[in-house]
Amino acid sequence: MARPRSMEARRRLIDATLEIITTDGVRAVSADDVARRSGVAKTTLYRHFGSTEALIFAAVGDSISAQQAPDTGSLRGDLEAIHRRYLAAADSARTRELFAWMVAASIEHPDHRDRFNAVRAQPHGSTTTALQRAITRGELAADTDLDLALHIVQGPLISQRIVDNRAVSDHELDQMLDATIRALGITTGL
């Protein structure tokens, strides 16, 4: 009889993966190194995740889902807090490298595309939660397409910070937020 998958082993694998990404970059993640740092057998890694790429996506998703969604009372305020948190993380070259790796992996393989979308559009992630709260408050229409809204919210920031690899000034962030709010159909609170 097979042993049940240990949540402790899973946690150690994720923590070791995040540590390697932080110290050495995403390209340094290997099953051997993760197993060595975590003290968990490679067979357990493969039983839990199937591949090191799937483990990387799981580790990133876990890290993102651990963050609390801000609740400032307005969608614009929530998005500003979320964007500022993202920009602080994206100051790290390792974070930008990781994001680029995830995009490239999602282009190369359909399973990775699904994993990347799950990381980007988490049902209980900060941005989704902010959008759902805005619907509840009446800031957004009840029939708002959340997937499209996520693209509208995330697109400008990712384009400038990751694709262009350019810092975002406070003034540029304000402009992005104003444009995002207008694109989502909110005309008050700008």
Q: Which residues contact 46 (CB under 8 A, 6 or more apart)?
A: 31
Residue 121 has pLDDT above 90, yes or no: no
Distance CA(139)–CA(99), nearest Å, equals 30
- State the pTM of this model: 0.81
Residue 165 has pLDDT above 50, yes or no: yes
**Which of 109, 120, 118 is CA-nearest to residue 157?**
120
Distance CA(81)–CA(153), nearest Å, equals 13
Distance CA(45)–CA(50), nearest Å, equals 7
pLDDT at 2: 47
Give the C-alpha distances (Å, rounded to integers) separating 54 from 17, 58, 93: 11, 6, 22
Domain ranges across the chain: 7-60, 69-183
Distance CA(177)–CA(174), nearest Å, equals 5
What letter does residue 139 receive in the DSSP assignment? S
Tokens read off for 168: 């975002």
Which CATH homologous superfamily contains domain 7-60? Homeodomain-like (1.10.10.60)
pLDDT at 63: 86
Q: Of 132 and 63, which is predicted with more confidence? A: 132
Residue 94 has pLDDT above 60, yes or no: yes
- Among 24-28, 34-38, 62-66, 75-79, which stretch is predicted with the lowest mean pLDDT? 62-66
- CATH code, 69-183: 1.10.357.10
